[in-house]
Structure 1
Amino acid sequence: MNPHLLLIDALNLIRRIYGVDANQTHHSDEHMLKACCARVAHACKKLITTTNATHAIAVFDGDKSWRYHFYKDYKHSRAPMPQTLKEALPQFKAAIEETGIVVFEPTNDEADDIIATLAHKAANNQINNTIVSTDKGFLPHLNEQIEVYDYFKKQQLTQQHIQERFGVAQHKLIDFWALAGDKTNDIPGVKSIGVKSAQQLVNQYNTLEEALSDESLSARLQKKLADDMDMFVISKQLVSLRTDIHLGFSLKQLRLN
């Protein structure tokens, strides 16, 4: 069997399942959490089967990543994790580990950067891998060996999905988000540049420098870009996942028993 690496965005999976279970009628929080842990474990087992994984890891977020230090307002308006869920995370980690999947929680890095690093490391070694997440930040990394799978829609995400959802090609996603911003993560983008203007710019030009030098581009749009280029650069850094993090473990350690 050819090796296949399964990369699970752990909190993305857990929070989505918890969000459903927490709204159901249960006798107690303890009963709800037990049922929720069982559902997460079931999802993990199903993913191993669906992807024919030979290696697997579920990655959690560490404490404040470099993005919080780089840009003070990063995710500042995001609601905190429910306390009941936060206190139960050790139970979820244990439930995942019981499926044979390695659980990893970095000290400071975000799960997205760890997963992107692992995906590229595997791909560079000609190992196919599947990222399981509903987070759009992984979409720029799709290629022949890196796939992104939405467990809840039972859907493998594709270039066509990207074009239909965002109106831009995959290789333009980073510039598009850096221009339009991302309210979910409090990434500012360029002031007064909305989704339509961002789509127009990235679809029409290869780079922003090219747009700024085009005399046919409206003076109003040129001024917006010129005045807020610093925020474009900052936003581009924030929406770009790192693929160069030192992990301290090898692929062999992620083999499923």
Structure 2
Amino acid sequence: MKPQLLLIDALNLIRRIYAVDANQKHHSDAQMIEICCSRVAHACKKLLKSSNATHAIAVFDGDRSWRYHFYKDYKHSRAPMPQMLKDALVDFKTAIEQTGIVVFEPVNDEADDIIATLAYKASSNQISNIVVSTDKGFLPHIGSYITVYDYFKKLYLDETSIKDRFGVEKNKLVDFWALAGDKTNDIPGVKGIGTKSAQQLVNNYSSIEQALEDDSLTPSIKNKLAANMDMYVISKHLVSLRTDINLGFSLKQLRLS
């Protein structure tokens, strides 16, 4: 059997399920956490079965990744994790491990960078892998060996769905986000460049440098780009997932028993 790697964005899965269960007011806190853990474990079992995975890992976020040091306002407006959920994470990790899936929590790195690194390493060795997450940051990495699955919509994301959602091709996403910014993560983008202008720029030019050299480009757009290239570069770093993290473990250690 060919290896098939399942990569689960653990907190993405847990927080989405928790958000639904937290509205069930007729349960005590302890009951709600127990039910939520059970639902997460059930989701993991369904994913193992539907993916025909031979190897699997659920990755949590480390404490504070390089992005917080690189840009001080990164995710600064995001609401903190509910304390009850934070206190129960150890229970969720146990529930996932009981399904046979390896749980990994890096010291500082974000789960997205760890998962992107694993996906890249696997695909480089022609090993198919499925990333389970609703995080759009994984979309630029979709390819012959990397697929992205939205568990909640029961949908595999592809290049057509990317174009329909963002108005740009997959390989233009990073530049598009670097220009337009990303409010959910407090990534600034280029001041004065909105979604439509960002779409036009990445669809009409092979690079921002080429756009700046075009005499026919609207002066106001050109001035905004020229005055804010530093934020464009910063934003591009922030929206780009790393694929070179030193993991400290091998694919063999993720084999399902």
TM-score between both structures, scaled by the size of structure 2: 0.99
Matches within 5 A, 1:222-241: 222-241=222-241
* Partner residue in 1 for 2:136: 136
**2:227 aligned with 1:213:** no
Q: CA deviation at 1:144?
A: 0.6
What is the DSSP-based 3-state SS (H/G/I as helix, E as strand, rest coil) of the residue aligned with 1:129?
A: strand
2:52 matched to 1:52? Answer: yes
Aligned residue type for 1:80: P
- What residue in structure 1 maps to residue 151 of structure 2? 151
The separation in 2 between residues aligned to 1:26 and 1:103, in whole angstroms, is: 31
Give, in whole Å, the separation in 2 of the partners of 1:50 and 1:134.
17
Matching of residue 99 in structure 1 with residue 126 in structure 2: no
Q: Partner of 1:50: helix, strand, or coil?
A: helix
Secondary structure, counterpart of 2:8 in structure 1:
strand
Which letter maps to 2:219? A
Question: Would the aligned equivalents of 1:133 and 1:151 in 2 still touch at CA under 8 Å?
Answer: yes
> Are 1:3 and 1:53, in contact at CA under 8 Å, matched by a contact in 2?
yes
1:167-187 deviation line (CA, Å, top 9, x unaligned) = 000000000000000000000
1:2 shift after superposition = 1.1
Structure 1 ranges of 4+ moved more than 6 A: none
Shift of 1:25: 2.9
Percent identity for Structure 1 against Structure 2: 74
| 1:25-48: CA deviation from partner (whole Å, max 9, x where unpaired) | 333000000000000000000000
- List per-residue Cα deviations over 1:141-194 (Å, max 9, x = no partner): 000100000000000000001000000000000000000000000000000100
Corresponding residue for residue 30 of structure 1: 30
Residue identity in the other structure for 2:177: W
Question: Is the partner of 2:11 in helix, strand or coil?
Answer: helix
1:73 correspondence with 2:86: no
8 Å CA contact 1:180, 1:190 repeated in 2: yes
Shift of 1:84: 0.4
Can you give the 5+ residue segments of structure 1 that lack an aligned partner in the other structure? none
User: What letter matches 1:176 in structure 2?
Assistant: F
Quick one: which amino acid aligns to residue 236 of structure 1? K
Deviations 1:102-149 (A, max 9, x none): 000000000000000000111111100000000000000000100000
Do residues 160 (structure 1) and 160 (structure 2) align?
yes
Give 1:24 shift: 1.3
* Shift in Å, 1:51: 0.5
2:204 alignment partner in structure 1: 204
CA contact (8 A) 1:26 1:32 kept: no
2: CA distance, partners of 1:42 / 1:61: 21
Where 1:153 maps in the other structure, the secondary structure is coil
Cα RMSD for the two superposed structures: 0.5
1:60-117 Cα offsets, whole Å, 9 max, x none, are 0001100000000000000000000000000000000000000000000000000000
SS in 1 for 2:57: strand
Question: What residue is the counterpart of 2:8 in the other structure?
Answer: 8
Q: Distance in 2 between matches of 1:89 and 1:208?
A: 43
Q: Which amino acid aligns with 1:40?
A: V
State the shift of 1:246 in Å: 0.3
- Report if the CA contact (8 A) 1:7-1:132 is conserved: yes
